[in-house]
Amino acid sequence: MSIFDLSGRVAVITGGNGGIGLGIAQALNAAGCNVSIWGRNAEKNKVAAATMAAGPGKVDTRICDVSSAASVQAAMKATLDTFGRVDGCFANAGIGGGGRRAFIDRTEEEWRTMFATNLDGVFHVFQAAARHMTERAEAGDRFGRLVATSSLASLFGTARNEHYAGTKAAINALVRALGVELARHGVTANAILPGWIKSDMTAGIMGNEKFVANVMPRIPVRRLGEPSDFGGIAVYLMSNASSYHTTDCFVIDGGYTAF
């Protein structure tokens, strides 16, 4: 059991059926938190829920397309009908760089798709969660946690994935603004920025001998992070101990940094 007891808390995790999102879901569940996983793939949702079947917290799954406001609203209503409340929202769903072509060669469709999936999804989910949390605050229940997984690309840029970096930088700005706006309701807002993480996405890269030999030594990481690393931060951010941490970005690149 975590030193932070989250028994009775309820967390929504978008894209929580694999990789980093699943690591967050498992860590919260192990700390006693009830978890609602929102994802577009029913089978992956089912498999993710099965990994937490023996945990102390209850697990619920919902089919949800976060780029659709109507889909998010339906998922939120269903989650509230099941658990009665939502205490934390971890927005993890999104898409990556989507190719290596130059900015001047991008199409408008590519631009809008990237923003719709990455930025609109956070907007819809956070707005639904914040409305619920502020309504509870007005009734005397002042507790809420909004957390977005962003990207180090939002801080340092990324060659030929500039539209991806743009969406992630916008998420960071949104988080900081929400931290200011929602503080009076007892709701915090934070971002977690992954660096080099062991996952199916990095497995192919790490299998490239030239990359490992020539590029990896130049990347300042002590080790490759694990999806479970995010879980540790997620449990902390859902606890009462984190009430003064708002609008921070927690960076994982083999270690932890808050600024």
Quote the CA–CA distance of 257 and 165 in Å, as a whole number. Answer: 20
Tokens of 95: 């898409």
Q: Which of 6, 80, 4 is nearest to 38 (CA)?
A: 80
Is residue 164 annotated as part of the catalytic site, yes or no? yes
Q: Which of 20, 18, 52, 47 is nearest to 35 (CA)?
A: 52
| DSSP letter assigned to residue 226 | -
**Amino acid, res. 56:** P
Task: Specify the pairing of strand 256-258 against strand 249-252.
Answer: antiparallel
Q: Which entry of 164, 236, 244, 256 is annotated as an active-site residue? A: 164
What residues are labeled active site?
164
